[in-house]
Homo-oligomer: A and B are copies of this chain.
Amino acid sequence: MTSYPETGLQIRSLIKPEGVLEISLVAQPTSAPAANEVIVRIEASPINPSDLGLLFGGADMTAATFSGTPDAPVVTAPIAPAVMKAMAGRVGQSLPVGNEGAGTVIAAGDTPAAQALLGKIVAITGGSMYAQYRAVAAAQCLVLPEGTTAAEGASCFVNPLTALGMVGTMKLEGHTALVHTAAASNLGQMLVRLCNRDGIPLVNIVRRPEQVELLRSMGAEYVCDSSSPTFTDDLADALEATGATLAFDATGGGRLAGQILAAMEVAAVRRMAEYSRYGSTVHKQVYIYGGLDRRPTEFVRAFGMAWGIGGWLLTPFIQKIGAEAAQRLRERVAAEIKTTFASSYTREVSLAEALTAGAIEVYGKQATGEKFLITPAKK
């Protein structure tokens, strides 16, 4: 076993009973690895939209105050009473944050599997990644191919497995093409590359004309701009051309999910030979996997009776396909981490820099095109 520091910093998110969020850096003792464990020095960990719920705890970050020192910053923000109700389960617990990351194995337990990882650069997942060190089971480490940096491998799980999960769900549920919203996101671009590579027709929905250009330049064939006056017709045409009857929606709120179902119905009815008062019998499905649009979801039921809207999460999908299939997906991600599953970041920040006003203002917005990478090993 090699040596490792006695403590490491990590970001903690705490909700106090009086309705206040406090985010701070805490020095956490580094415990010795168990026999089958390794200790990873986290060198890169992305800020994904799915991290922000836990990090911010529903607080009003526009009202945040910043105190402490540059090395030990403290962020404080108020939480509305209605939100506090939903947070009841975590009040008073100082929670670590960060879904995934990558770094170097600097210590290992006694088992051969753990020892074999010493010095390797690995990608890991499971929370507590906004930290300098993380103990993890050797079996959970995804060894990155020779020549891959931690920064390149930091996002091996959330986005790549979500993209693969969408394609897998499509196949499991008998669909043959996909629709994706907020399609210019990092995940959206990844899905464009994955579908191109695997020959899966993909209808991309974006919100701005320049995003249409971006995706087309990547080889996306169908890109519909929801800000265009011809959006509804464009979407129905793309759905008719691709036969897509399954959509993954990152926005969640507003009328977009219902518009997609309605356009799928228009496309399906165009293919029907005769009138049915129940509409088409083709099952049309939208899975909501994000909440970029915080408004209530609203839809006019004008798409027949064969439709569904539901929540979608990666974890149940992974459980459904089983451990072996999941491992094959992870190995594919590692093999294609510089191509199909490459991520790009607009800014790298240390743990302390991630808790500054200037950083939170940008990554807290979840704006398409802005993605931060935390580099806990750098001061």
Interface residues of A (CB under 8 A from B): 53-54, 86, 88-90, 93, 252-253, 258, 269, 272, 274-278, 281, 288-289, 291, 296-302, 304-313, 316
Assess whether B301 is in contact with A299, with CB atoms less than 8 Å apart.
Answer: no
Residues of B within 8 A of A269 (CB): 89
**18 A-B contacts, Cβ less than 8 Å apart?**
A86-B302, A89-B272, A89-B274, A89-B275, A89-B276, A90-B277, A93-B275, A252-B301, A258-B296, A291-B301, A296-B299, A296-B300, A297-B299, A297-B301, A304-B311, A306-B316, A307-B310, A308-B308
Known: A296-B299, A296-B300, A308-B308. 10 other contacts (CB 8 A): A89-B269, A89-B275, A253-B301, A296-B301, A297-B301, A304-B311, A305-B312, A305-B313, A306-B316, A310-B310
When all copies of this chain in the complex are counted, the total is 2
When C-beta atoms are compared, the residue in chain B nearest to A86 turns out to be: B302
Q: Most chain-B Cβ atoms within 10 A of its Cβ — which of A88, A89, A269, A291?
A: A89
Assess whether A278 is in contact with B313, with CB atoms less than 8 Å apart.
Answer: yes
Residues of B within 8 A of A277 (CB): 53-54, 90
Residues of B within 8 A of A306 (CB): 311, 313, 316
Assess whether B309 is in contact with A310, with CB atoms less than 8 Å apart.
Answer: yes
When C-beta atoms are compared, the residue in chain B nearest to A312 turns out to be: B305
Q: How far is the CA of A281 from the CA of B253 in the complex (A)?
A: 21
When C-beta atoms are compared, the residue in chain B nearest to A299 turns out to be: B297
Contact for A288 among B86, B272, B288, B301, CB less than 8 A: B301
Residues of B within 8 A of A301 (CB): 252-253, 288, 291, 296-297, 311
Assess whether B297 is in contact with A298, with CB atoms less than 8 Å apart.
Answer: yes
Assess whether B298 is in contact with A296, with CB atoms less than 8 Å apart.
Answer: yes
Q: How far is the CA of A373 from the CA of B269 in the complex (A)?
A: 34
Residues of B within 8 A of A253 (CB): 301
Assess whether A311 is in contact with B311, with CB atoms less than 8 Å apart.
Answer: no
When C-beta atoms are compared, the residue in chain B nearest to A274 turns out to be: B89
Say how far A176's CB is from chain B's closest CB, in angstroms.
Answer: 20
Assess whether A305 is in contact with B298, with CB atoms less than 8 Å apart.
Answer: no
Say how far A245's CB is from chain B's closest CB, in angstroms.
Answer: 13
Assess whether B90 is in contact with A275, with CB atoms less than 8 Å apart.
Answer: yes
Q: Most chain-B Cβ atoms within 10 A of its Cβ — which of A258, A277, A289?
A: A277
Q: How far is the CA of A167 from the CA of B312 in the complex (A)?
A: 25
Say how far A129's CB is from chain B's closest CB, in angstroms.
Answer: 15
Say how far A58's CB is from chain B's closest CB, in angstroms.
Answer: 10
Knowing A300-B296, A301-B297, the reply to whether A308 touches B307 (Cβ < 8 A) is no
Residues of B within 8 A of A309 (CB): 308-310
Q: How far is the CA of A192 from the CA of B302 in the complex (A)?
A: 30
Residues of B within 8 A of A302 (CB): 86
Residues of B within 8 A of A316 (CB): 281, 306
Contact for A305 among B88, B275, B304, B311, CB less than 8 A: B311
Say how far A189's CB is from chain B's closest CB, in angstroms.
Answer: 24
When C-beta atoms are compared, the residue in chain B nearest to A289 turns out to be: B305
Q: How far is the CA of A275 from the CA of B92 in the complex (A)?
A: 12
When C-beta atoms are compared, the residue in chain B nearest to A91 turns out to be: B275
Q: How far is the CA of A253 from the CA of B90 in the complex (A)?
A: 34
Q: How far is the CA of A254 from the CA of B31 in the complex (A)?
A: 54
Residues of B within 8 A of A313 (CB): 278, 305-306
Residues of B within 8 A of A53 (CB): 277
Say how far A173's CB is from chain B's closest CB, in angstroms.
Answer: 12
